[in-house]
């Protein structure tokens, strides 16, 4: 199983490689879902690929954001440049970009980002048929679901360690609607790490970091993951330090090899944890045990207690289970205090310390959050570029009166032969050949080490030591250059600003339509006399209206879609898996259709009746969709609440028992007391958070009508039938 480590910059890349990574993933300066990482220029990418390939490490480049039409050619150009620089794969979220890469750069290996939220076999089959070679499974997938994905025949990669988004990746718009920073474009401001209030009517049930998850750690479940036929175990952390990358990579390399120790577990906890680790959705049920309610930063590890306080002088005494040194970092969570250790007195395991930024209470717990010695050890592991060695074989050949030759071969069948600068002579001493082999074996500060070296000659060879050393040096340099060489032949290629996609003439007789979406079943809301073209509703409501050709059953994200699943005649979902079914289908907002290239891809499937355009698509940009496939409607949100987060974590259920978790009055309040309502879909263990405000584009309907969107979408939550009919009248 491949160990895949993050590289936010060149230092982190070296830390990953030198500590045992089989592959690294990194982002460019644009179109990276971790836009706040340092990321790589193309010159740095070239250096990174050479560095990694020399050491048998693969390089995957993330182009894993949503792309708008104006940037599609630029994004495709980035993918092509990465290809010519020899990267081993690109990781993609945008379906439109993936389709264009497959069309224009067919030899470039495609990996599906976890932001595609793949959890179902049908989704895996679709991506496999599209040309993807690997899927990074949704972090919400259980180990059983992951095994079902691998059985489709496509490679499956899973996240094994690091930060866990509380939302399905690619299905969160909380940051976008809160402050305009899109997680789908790499700018997430992480509002999920802030405190929220859980309330019922006016009663406060909890006030904590209710959406903040612990980091995941599956180091003790390696065998189960391998038995599920997972090909790659991924470490999250492109925003983390090189020391973090070094320590966590080393930890999982040991876990995979079966040599993990308790100290390794402790080091992993030390370098970063949020109130401990969870085993993620793979091995545990979503609930309180997965959450870090009290502190969203690094908790560190508990090492002792405050046993004496002098607030006037700013002095404390602590008793510690760990030997401390100046420069260690400690914290006192109860009072939200932190400091670097400054020792003025030590007596056994008792330390007298200076406090410069506040004094904790007596008997308060002490946590170690920065281990100076551990960090320095981690730094040493990647400062020396030659710590990691690559095994090679060597053969020395000599014939009397001819130049000697030394051939070195690696595990990829690359080979290089170097020749001596002088002809060989016969030696007088019988150990001459052994001395030559001994000198040839000294690989020194190179990336190579010999696993086998032999000599082919029928006499004792004399060559000066400097000649033998030069022969070895030339051979190793030659092999290194071959290994670093770009594996594809660069070809000049410029993509036009507007790439070709299928367009048809729009039907001029098509009147603007209206669609309704019900987040919850509304027994009080009879749809019979509602003037709408399509009406989307949860399953319980659909059962009452399945006779109505306008009714579509809603399949929330996370719903199971496999060979045993039977869908009704009409379905709406954000899961691309429904494209594999023979039914009328509408692709919901979570399909993330931000560009016409994604729309063109979706239009290639039968019975797609409508595509809901991304909430992140400005009204001004809808005009790009004019002239698209006339058999498909393009919907745009005109009125209503939107699901700003879709999560497998049941916020209501974590603090309440069934059936109380279905209580509609349970809701969240953010720091500005704005209300986020919670909708639960218990059949697929999914909860939606509805944004605090109602989108209202009614005053811009003329502008929308003249654009490429021909259907005005209304989301219904608590509005009455009369209110909805009034809104429809305004739209028509």
Are 90 and 45 contacting, i.e. CB atoms less than 8 angstroms apart? no
Comparing 98-112, 136-150, 648-662, 663-677, the range with the smallest average pLDDT is 648-662
What is the torsion angle, in degrees rounded to the nearest 10, for the CA atoms of residue 310, residue 312, residue 313 and residue 314? 70
DSSP string, 395-415: EEE--TTSEEEEEEE-TTS-E
| Reported confidence tier of residue 484, pLDDT bands at 50, 70, 90 | confident
Q: How much is the average pLDDT of 144-166?
A: 96
Q: Is the pLDDT of residue 507 over 60?
A: no
61 lies in the same domain as 91: yes
In the chain, how many domains are there? 4
523 lies in the same domain as 571: yes
DSSP string, 694-713: -EE-GGGHHHHHTTT--EEE
Q: Which residues of 445-482 are buried (b: 16+ CB within 10 A; e: fewer)?
A: ebbbebeebebebeebbbbeeebbeebbebbbebbbeb
What is the DSSP-derived secondary structure letter of residue 453? E
* pLDDT for the residue numbered 505: 44
Per-residue pLDDT of 377-392, as tens digits, reads 999 999 877 678 899 9
* pLDDT for the residue numbered 303: 96
374 lies in the same domain as 418: no
597 lies in the same domain as 534: yes
* Local structure of 673: helix, strand or coil: coil
Q: Please choose, from the candidates 492, 534, 484, the residue with its C-alpha nearest in 3D space to the C-alpha of residue 514.
A: 534
* pLDDT for the residue numbered 511: 63
* Local structure of 46: helix, strand or coil: helix
Q: How much is the average pLDDT of 260-266?
A: 96
Q: Is the pLDDT of residue 420 over 70?
A: yes
* pLDDT for the residue numbered 202: 82
* pLDDT for the residue numbered 506: 47
| Reported confidence tier of residue 509, pLDDT bands at 50, 70, 90 | very low
Domain-located, residue 359 = yes
Count Cβ atoms below 10 Å from residue 268 Cβ, excluding itself. Answer: 23
Domain-located, residue 479 = yes
Q: Which domain holds residue 470?
A: 404-484
Q: How much is the average pLDDT of 472-482?
A: 94
CATH code of the domain covering residue 604? 3.20.20.70
Domain-located, residue 602 = yes
90 lies in the same domain as 125: yes
Domain-located, residue 294 = no
452 lies in the same domain as 335: no
Are 320 and 351 contacting, i.e. CB atoms less than 8 angstroms apart? yes
Q: Which residues of 193-205 are buried (b: 16+ CB within 10 A; e: fewer)?
A: bebbbbbbeeeee
| Reported confidence tier of residue 429, pLDDT bands at 50, 70, 90 | confident
Q: How much is the average pLDDT of 466-490?
A: 86
> C-alpha 291: how far from its chain's center?
19
| Reported confidence tier of residue 395, pLDDT bands at 50, 70, 90 | very high
What does the alpha-carbon distance between residue 567 and residue 554 come to, in Å, rounded to a whole number? 10
- Host H or E run for residue 440: helix 432-440
Which residues make beta-bridge pairs with 505?
A: none
What does the alpha-carbon distance between residue 500 and residue 280 come to, in Å, rounded to a whole number? 42
Q: Is the pLDDT of residue 504 over 60?
A: no
Q: In the chain, count of helices (H) and strands (E)?
A: 19, 38
Per-residue pLDDT of 179-229, as tens digits, reads 888 888 888 989 999 999 999 888 898 999 999 999 999 999 999 999 999
Q: Is the pLDDT of residue 285 over 90?
A: no
Domain-located, residue 352 = yes
Domain-located, residue 184 = no
> C-alpha 490: how far from its chain's center?
29
What does the alpha-carbon distance between residue 429 and residue 416 come to, in Å, rounded to a whole number? 30
259 lies in the same domain as 323: no
Are 628 and 709 contacting, i.e. CB atoms less than 8 angstroms apart? no
What is the DSSP-derived secondary structure letter of residue 715? E
Residue 255: C-alpha distances to residues 1, 150, 159, 388, 533 (Å): 11, 22, 15, 18, 56
| Reported confidence tier of residue 508, pLDDT bands at 50, 70, 90 | very low
Q: Is the pLDDT of residue 277 over 50?
A: yes
Q: Which residues of 320-345 are buried (b: 16+ CB within 10 A; e: fewer)?
A: bebebeeebbbbbbeeebbbbbeeee
| Reported confidence tier of residue 663, pLDDT bands at 50, 70, 90 | low
**pLDDT above 90: percentage of residues in the chain:** 76
Domain-located, residue 675 = no
Are 171 and 245 contacting, i.e. CB atoms less than 8 angstroms apart? no
308 lies in the same domain as 446: no
Per-residue pLDDT of 233-243, as tens digits, reads 999 999 999 99
Q: Is the pLDDT of residue 131 over 90?
A: yes
Q: How much is the average pLDDT of 285-313?
A: 92
Most trustworthy range by pLDDT among 78-87, 193-202, 222-231, 439-448 = 222-231
Per-residue pLDDT of 318-337, as tens digits, reads 999 999 999 999 999 888 89
* Local structure of 150: helix, strand or coil: helix
What does the alpha-carbon distance between residue 380 and residue 560 come to, in Å, rounded to a whole number? 47
85 lies in the same domain as 227: yes
26 lies in the same domain as 83: yes
Supply the angle between the helices 372-383 and 262-271 in degrees, to the nearest 10.
100
Residue 705: C-alpha distances to residues 442, 511, 702, 709 (Å): 75, 9, 5, 7
CATH code of the domain covering residue 346? 2.40.30.20
Mean pLDDT score of the chain? 91
136 lies in the same domain as 56: yes
What does the alpha-carbon distance between residue 618 and residue 641 come to, in Å, rounded to a whole number? 17
What does the alpha-carbon distance between residue 61 and residue 512 come to, in Å, rounded to a whole number? 42
Domain-located, residue 25 = yes
* pLDDT for the residue numbered 502: 56
* pLDDT for the residue numbered 579: 95
315 lies in the same domain as 365: yes
């Amino acid at each position: 199983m491949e160990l895949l480590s993050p590289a936010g910059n060149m230092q982190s890349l070296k830390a990953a490689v030198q500590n045992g990574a089989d592959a690294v993933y990194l982002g460019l300066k644009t179109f990276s879902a971790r836009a706040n990482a340092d990321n790589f220029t193309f010159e740095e990418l070239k250096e990174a690929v050479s560095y990694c390939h020399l050491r048998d490490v693969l390089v995957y480049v993330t182009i894993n954001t949503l792309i708008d039409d104006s940037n599609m050619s630029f994004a495709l150009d980035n993918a092509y440049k990465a290809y010519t620089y020899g990267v081993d794969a690109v990781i993609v979220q945008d379906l439109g970009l993936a389709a264009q890469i497959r069309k224009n750069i067919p030899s470039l290996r495609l990996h599906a980002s976890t932001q595609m939220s793949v959890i179902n076999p049908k989704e895996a089959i679709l991506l496999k048929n599209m040309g993807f070679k690997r899927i990074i499974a949704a972090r919400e997938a259980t180990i059983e679901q992951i095994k079902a994905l691998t059985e489709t025949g496509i490679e499956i990669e899973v996240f094994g360690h690091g930060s866990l988004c509380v939302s399905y990746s690619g299905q969160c718009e909380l940051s976008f609607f809160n402050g305009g920073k899109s997680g789908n474009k790499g700018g997430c401001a992480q509002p999920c790490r802030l405190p929220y209030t859980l309330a019922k009517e006016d009663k406060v049930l909890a006030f904590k970091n209710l959406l903040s998850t612990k980091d995941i750690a599956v180091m003790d479940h390696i065998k189960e993951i391998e038995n599920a036929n997972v090909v790659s175990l991924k470490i999250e952390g492109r925003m983390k330090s090189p020391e973090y990358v070094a320590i966590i990579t080393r930890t999982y390399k040991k876990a995979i090899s079966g040599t993990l120790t308790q100290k390794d577990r402790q080091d992993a906890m030390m370098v970063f944890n949020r109130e401990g680790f969870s085993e993620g959705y793979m091995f545990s049920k979503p609930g309180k045990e997965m959450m870090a309610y009290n502190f969203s930063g690094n908790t560190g590890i508990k090492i002792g207690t405050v046993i004496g306080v002098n607030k006037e002088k700013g002095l404390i005494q602590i008793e510690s289970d760990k030997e401390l040194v100046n420069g260690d970092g400690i914290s006192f969570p109860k009072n939200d205090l932190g400091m670097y250790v400054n020792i003025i007195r030590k007596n056994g395991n008792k330390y007298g310390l200076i406090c410069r930024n506040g004094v904790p209470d007596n008997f308060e717990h002490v946590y170690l959050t920065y281990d100076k010695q551990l960090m320095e050890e981690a730094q040493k592991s990647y400062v020396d570029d030659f710590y990691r060695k690559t095994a090679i074989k060597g053969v020395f050949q000599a014939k009397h009166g001819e130049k000697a030759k030394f051939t070195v071969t690696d595990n990829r069948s690359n080979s290089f032969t170097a020749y001596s600068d002088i002809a060989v002579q016969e030696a007088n001493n019988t150990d001459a050949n052994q001395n030559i082999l001994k000198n040839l074996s000294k690989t020194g500060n190179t990336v190579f080490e010999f696993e086998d070296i032999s000599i082919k000659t029928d006499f004792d060879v004399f060559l000066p030591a400097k000649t033998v050393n030069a022969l070895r040096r030339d051979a190793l340099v030659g092999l290194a250059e071959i290994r670093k060489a770009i594996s594809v032949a660069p070809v000049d290629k410029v993509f036009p600003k507007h790439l070709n996609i299928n367009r048809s003439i729009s039907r001029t007789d098509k009147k603007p339509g209206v669609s309704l979406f019900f987040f919850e079943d509304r027994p009080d809301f009879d749809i019979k006399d509602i003037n709408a073209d399509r009406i989307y509703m949860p399953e319980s409501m659909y059962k009452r209206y399945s006779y109505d050709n306008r009714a579509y059953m809603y399949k929330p994200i996370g719903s199971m879609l496999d060979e045993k699943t039977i869908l009704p005649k009409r379905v709406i979902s954000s899961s691309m898996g429904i494209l594999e079914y023979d039914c009328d289908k509408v692709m919901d907002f979570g399909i993330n259709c931000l560009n016409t290239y994604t729309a063109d891809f979706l239009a290639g499937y039968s019975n797609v009746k409508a595509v809901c355009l991304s909430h992140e698509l400005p009204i001004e940009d809808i005009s790009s969709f004019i002239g698209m496939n006339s058999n498909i409607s393009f919907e745009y949100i005109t009125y209503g609440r939107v699901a700003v987060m879709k999560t497998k974590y049941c916020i209501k259920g974590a603090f309440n028992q069934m059936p109380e978790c279905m209580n509609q009055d349970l809701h969240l309040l953010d720091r500005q007391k704005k209300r986020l309502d919670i909708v639960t879909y218990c059949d697929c263990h999914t909860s939606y958070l509805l944004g605090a405000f109602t989108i209202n584009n009614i005053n811009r309907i003329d502008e929308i009508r003249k654009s490429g969107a021909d259907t005005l979408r209304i989301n219904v939550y608590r509005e009455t039938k009369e209110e909805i009919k009034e809104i429809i009248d305004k739209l028509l």
